[in-house]
Structure 1
Amino acid sequence: MTEENRAIGDSTNKPNNNIKKVIGVMSGKGGVGKSTVTTLLAQQLVENGHTVGILDADITGPSIPKLLNMGDAKAYSDGDFIVPVMSQSGIKVVSLNLLIDEEEAPVIWRGPMVGGAVQQFYNDTVWGDLDYLLIDMPPGTGDVALTVMQSIRLTGIVMVSIPQNLVSMIVAKAINMAKQMDIPVIGLVENMSYVPCPSCDEKIRIFKDDNLDSFLKEYDLDLLGELPMSAEVIDITNNGIKSLSPGLKEEVVAMTKKVENYKRKYSMSMFGK
């Protein structure tokens, strides 16, 4: 069996799970649309014929169930393992908000407990056969990011940013962390990249100091996609994903295709192979 086709992370995951590719979605800073990108990617992957799961690793700020319009759905445990919830679009989801009674209840946990919950979501969930498992990671380079990178064999990381120099600097920290942990960065998605012109096909760049090209060159990154700052994207964050306009759909399809075409080149140094 080839490295790409084997179950990634099978040394720790439930034996009868077969997860082909595990992709972390990460940002250095909160509020840049990371969870929205995770959900858009997952839904397009399903439309492209793949079996997909999302592990919501943002324990203190889980938002995947809301983005997928999962309502009052709840995951449950059979005593030994967690059974994920299937979204209406066919995505298997595990999130803390699917396991607690009140979604507004705060999660007041220290770092090790949060990291342990993420490991349990990966190791003890009955994921079954998946082509892709997307891990929606919390912002920053803290305990959860370290836990995921150390304990799960990732195919790669998708970075999410917005066109501001301050955010780019913080995202650079996350990129450097991934490189130090020997995790490849698949590419960058820039959210709020432009405003669509209402009367033409132009993309209006409102951030004059956007340094995207130089940033991509400096860190040797591929641009996976640019998502607009639009009422449609804002509505997604408020009311979940429904049907997409042709313009946004085109961006998401192109972004997803680049992720599908990525092939992980393992150095094996982290996993002793």
Structure 2
Amino acid sequence: MMPIFFRNLPSSEPFTFDSVGNDRIQEAVNRPRGYPFYHYLQTETGEGIVKVQEKEYLLKENEGILIAPSIRHSYQSLHVSPDWKTCFATFTGSLESSIGDITGNQPVLLISSEQGIPISTIIKKVVTQYQNPPLDPLSLSSSCYQLLLLLAGGTAVQAATDPLYQQYLVPVLHEMETNYDSPLTIQELSRMVYVTPQYLSRLFRRFLGCSAYEYLTSYRIAKARELLLSSPRSEVQEIARQTGFTDPSHFIAVFRKITGVTPLEFRKLN
């Protein structure tokens, strides 16, 4: 039986595993709405095809891929016979919203086989901890942070050094991440860098694999998670306003779509 473990209690640690497993004969998976947490998948043996939105990636032995929350994806073995074995981990914690900052705020990261070897070692260690309780939350949190730092050194699918990325997306991303609490439109953002909204949208799709609206919404929800935990006395309506949502009902609906729970449920769980 392949080891797969899920977190069954709320965690107060800054980073920890929501789920982890290894030595898994990987079945086909299709997630049209993505996964609610950062999700890492790595090949142990065999080969698999991972499709993220409209792009496909081949994962050979020890190669891995990190996918941000709520990004549409699917994967399956490259071959007809089920000979693709994988290990995986998903991440949460009280500082979950900062995982994007650690990993460069990229929706997808590819991990080379050289980087994958130490990552699989950490996953194996964590699985062993789950197999031999009681669990040590601090040790799990430390292992989780080590793994995230290894992922941060991965090769981004998007070439952040590309001149187009630097000239057009960097200032727009800075504007979004600085003024996420203000009304922002693709028209205003495109005027800021002297391009059409259509061209800016194409650049977002090319480098980040999502629309400008999807990026801004994900960033706002990440900030909302942070505020829900750091300001426990703030009302949901106030959190909505502070993160750029004028309608609290819309905020709750978007929050639930991305995280799987309402803002109040998220606060109680954490």
Question: Considering only CA atoms, is the larger Rg found in Structure 1 or Structure 2?
Answer: 2
Per chain length, whose mean CA-contact separation is higher, i.e. which structure has more relative contact order (CA < 8 Å, sep 6+)?
1
Using structure 2 for the length normalisation, give the TM-score.
Answer: 0.29
Using structure 1 for the length normalisation, give the TM-score.
Answer: 0.28
Greater helix share, structure number:
2
